[in-house]
Amino acid sequence: MNENKPISMANLTRHADLIVIGAGLAGLTVALEAANERKVIILAKRQLTEAATAWAQGGIVGVLDQKDSFDSHVIDTLEAGAGLVLESAARFITENSSQAIQWLLDQGVSFTLDPQGPLGLHLTKEGGHSHRRIAHAADATGKAIHDALLIKAKNHPNIEILEHWIALDLITNKHLDAPLTLSSKKQIKNDYCYGIYALDIQSGAVVALTATDVVLATGGVGKVYKYTTNPETATGDGIAMAWRAGCRVGNMEFIQFHPTCLYHPQGGSFLITEALRGEGGQLKLPDGTRFMANHDERMELAPRDIVARAIDFELKKHGLDFVLLDATHLGEEFIHEHFPTIYAKCLSLGIDMTKEAIPVVPAAHYTCGGIVTTLEGRTDLKGLYAVGEATCTGLHGANRLASNSLLECVVIGKATAKAILKDLSRDIPPIKIWDDSKVENADEQVVISHNWDELRALMWNYVGIVRTNRRLERALHRIELLSQEVHDYYANFKVTRDLIELRNLLVCAELIVRSALARKESRGLHYSRDYPDTFAVSYPTILEPAQLNRKIGT
């Protein structure tokens, strides 16, 4: 951030025990678990319903069936993660899966029921899983979970929700109101987070929100790509803020492209859930030929990276705009019961999926890397935690196994809240407050929209499903130029949500590209034509701000 902006104005500060940035499943889990003992503020930069959680269709993993086992789920996770999954993370999260689902049931989540199923739940199967272990609420699981937790949060006396507020940056030592003395340096660590600067979008005021603990639950970076299944909120805010504050990030090259996004001019970025293939949906060329057998013996149930690359290959081989996902053989009754949301969406666009196949293409879907954390959500900055898609816990490795994401949100969210409740209340030193008295209102917002469009197009064309060094280097060069333009703009004009999001997306784009350039092999979601082979042994890609010649995003 522009360090000339903060000044000392005590009337522009607020304090809470805990600030949670993000109102999706990860953030709400932490807030609800901590709120009985802490005063909590939750920030949502748009409407509460726009969190990525509400867009999740498939479900949440739970090892519930006696025929299933923790070891089996761990093995499936390790295999999908292509050698980069931290087994201890996979085991910890897997062994807490049944408790996570029970916790959601206790919060009032209405999963699809089956009287004969474990816990009375209907379990489905998705790509990469060896057993039926996905608890779901028809094909709108995320919305059912999100709605239930929002009700709990809104009615909790210790939780305050600030809608249409967006975080700008973390408050660290460089934002203290007075230089540290020798004695104070002994008491105040250089690696501590004291809160955040946040923009009240409706009033335009930037406020310093201080807290004993801050949780980043801001989701992924899907909006850095032209085509994505993610909502407008997925602009990598937490990852960018943590990076600027000095935290490490890991595995940012591994961006999961969901194989099946609805292809239609008016369809937006509508996801066609993995579960549709799990229940027997078939991928076909326009002439009706099934093609997955040419790419993997598991066919449509292969992990997402394999299916996405297969579709990408067929699109380019045949010069197609889309392929088809055919579920007509499942029958009308089955489709109406299990996939009502998809059926209604397709029908609204003139596609009756009970009688015709759905046109689909891959789209950016999930960020498998992010802020490096422990299994208690701890980051490199004391007082700063991170949970959910913004993080790199080691669970996802080089490719996320389907439906592990919601599980990670709950398990790590609960562990993070437990760790936070052990933190003692601390005195917050005087903080510099935001000063925009010397900047102007932007007269040409087209600069932001143009740079946003250019960034998303170049990331799609150069840093997509299949990569080359030349494409990555071209992308990096242009990202650096765009970053300088936005830095200059940020220094001279009042901040807006669009400007903050673009600034954060540029940081994340550069982290993705630099991570991709650092990996001299093809693995999981990262496929390079220059390095098509896979090493026998490989390691996570960890970037540290201090190691780069030019600190990204400053």
Which residues are tagged catalytic?
304
Beta carbons of 114 and 120 less than 8 angstroms apart: yes
Instruction: Tell me the Ramachandran region of residue 14: left when phi exceeds 0, alpha when psi lies from -120 to 50, beta otherwise.
Output: beta
**Residue type at 79 in one-letter notation:** E
Beta carbons of 170 and 383 less than 8 angstroms apart: no
d(CA 148, CA 455): 36
Collapsing DSSP states into helix, strand and coil, what is residue 89?
helix
Tokens of 70: 């923790």
Tokens of 391: 């993080």
Pairing relationship of beta strands 205-216 and 384-386 according to DSSP bridges: parallel
Tokens of 523: 């693995």
Tokens of 424: 């003692």
Whole-number Cα distances in Å, 173 to 146, 189, 423: 35, 8, 19
d(CA 520, CA 482): 26
Whole-number Cα distances in Å, 5 to 140, 166, 495, 499: 44, 17, 11, 16
d(CA 472, CA 513): 6
d(CA 21, CA 219): 10
d(CA 253, CA 307): 18
Sign of the dihedral defined by the CA atoms of residues 539, 540, 541, 542, in that order: negative
Check residue 22 and report its DSSP letter: -
**Residue type at 118 in one-letter notation:** P
- H/E/C letters for each residue in 143-157? HHHHHHHHHHHHCCC
By residue count, the chain amounts to 554
User: Half-sphere exposure (CA, 13 Å, Cβ side) for 166?
Assistant: 24
